[in-house]
Structure 1
């Protein structure tokens, strides 16, 4: 994805307002948020939720004008025990499954328990100040389904969800990928792409004896769900514009952008010369 192309697409679409992004579990974990280019260029606004105070301090110190971070845990609106671990990326409302920590290599040190705290969660549907949500990114170590189940009203406006899912049971009683998949399909979303799949080596007495030993067990990963694009001809034009911006500025998915452009042009909202310039930029840069 090139910024010149993104700038042209944004000017061509002329969205009526900024794309609205909600990031639940905004801890960047030494990675760049996928919506960062849109945020840096003033094309979206972000509301991030992060209950870990040290991480929240860092996020607020580095935030831009369109970023708001809230010191809250999103869930079902009740109090839960937050389990803290040496690896901050494992902190969860669920307790790590001891059998998994012993079964897969590379988890023991990060899985060392450092305490628990009681934490009050908030339902997305109880936060009207959020307004419309277009893109929902969520990574909260097993509690994703809890959030979805308590966000039925909020999900009505969402066109894309990037969520973490568990393939192998990492936490006791945490919902699986299958549980999340069934729920999101029931509410109009379909899986589109895997962003990342984390694999681990199965532990044995001979682990480390081989020069090369491939990780084979899927543990968890991030997957992108989209509002079913087969019905895009019935979407509001503003939602189609938002989808085009997400597809280009976050994921660099040309086919989705071109489908959006196709529908918008059929409604008389785009000129051919604008489209030709976009196609040329995508073909040459």
Structure 2
């Protein structure tokens, strides 16, 4: 699904009458690619609180007036062992599983390369600088459930969670997709969509003779989008509706964004013309 263009984000920002920039918390802010929320930050519509405990990855985070970065490990709170690997994106509170990697035939170069250290994790609920939360994005290499468990208070007002969900275990002891799904549903969130899914080709004798990309069938993980249940919209605050419309547009969930705008129109929070103006700015392939 096509993501929102700059003009669409700018139009929403101008017409939604935000009381304050959206509050985005990014746990595992390692800058390996463009974060999905980047258009909101570029438009001045969001402030990011980014957490990255790996020193090498933290040093690569570019200063931004719309972002506050902290070299903090977020989790349940308390002492933990941090497994730092030469490839910073593999670092985790959990050790890589030799059995899993032996089956997959990938990631072998990381085994036995970690440096272990004792660290103190902090629960998001204990970080006073963050007084509210609209979007929680988590890429914590297996520690996603720990982050969720330590953020129950702040998640009570959030409208969206984007988290890496593990389909096949990479780390010993890490929670799996059913664990994270249960943790989020207990807090009122439901699965909305996947932004992407990652799969690998299993190791076999004929690997040199086949197209590995086309034959990658073993699912590893994917970024899952959860939203606060929207079935009973009467329980939603006006600010939450505005946040959902912007976030849904940003990730390309345009039907969800339009439903949020329709709800705002019904409440008298937006002009009746706003949903139509939204569609006018969609890519041609999405319009009838």
**TM-score for both structures, normalised by structure 1:** 0.93
User: Is structure 2 residue 122 aligned with structure 1 residue 122?
Assistant: yes
- Which residue does the alignment assign to 1:145? 145
Q: Distance in 1 between matches of 2:279 and 2:200?
A: 41
- Within a 5 Å distance, the mapping from 1:167-186 to structure 2 comes to 167-186=167-186
Q: Distance in 1 between matches of 2:21 and 2:208?
A: 54
Q: Distance in 1 between matches of 2:218 and 2:274?
A: 47
Gaps of 5+ in 2: none
Q: Distance in 1 between matches of 2:38 and 2:218?
A: 31
Query: How many Å apart are 1:80 and its aligned residue?
Result: 1.2
Q: Distance in 2 between matches of 1:69 and 1:40?
A: 16
User: Is structure 2 residue 52 aligned with structure 1 residue 53?
Assistant: no
Q: Following superposition, which runs of at least 4 residues in structure 1 exceed 6 angstroms of deviation?
A: none
Gaps of 5+ in 1: none
Greater alpha carbon shift after TM alignment, 142-151 vs 36-45: 142-151
Query: How many Å apart are 1:28 and its aligned residue?
Result: 2.0
- Within a 5 Å distance, the mapping from 1:187-206 to structure 2 comes to 187-204=187-204, 206=205
* Structure-2 change in CA distance of 1:284 and 1:216 (3 Å): closer
Residue pair 1:83, 1:113 contacting (<8 A) in 2 also = no
Report the RMSD for the aligned CA atoms in angstroms.
Answer: 1.6
* Structure-2 change in CA distance of 1:87 and 1:283 (3 Å): closer
Q: Distance in 1 between matches of 2:103 and 2:283?
A: 47
- Which residue does the alignment assign to 2:269? 269
Q: Distance in 2 between matches of 1:181 and 1:12?
A: 34
- 1:72-125 deviations in whole A, cap 9, x for unaligned? 101121111111223221101101110111111331124451311111101111
Number of equivalences: 280
Residue pair 1:233, 1:263 contacting (<8 A) in 2 also = no
- Within a 5 Å distance, the mapping from 1:243-258 to structure 2 comes to 243-248=244-249, 250-258=250-258
Q: Distance in 1 between matches of 2:17 and 2:242?
A: 8
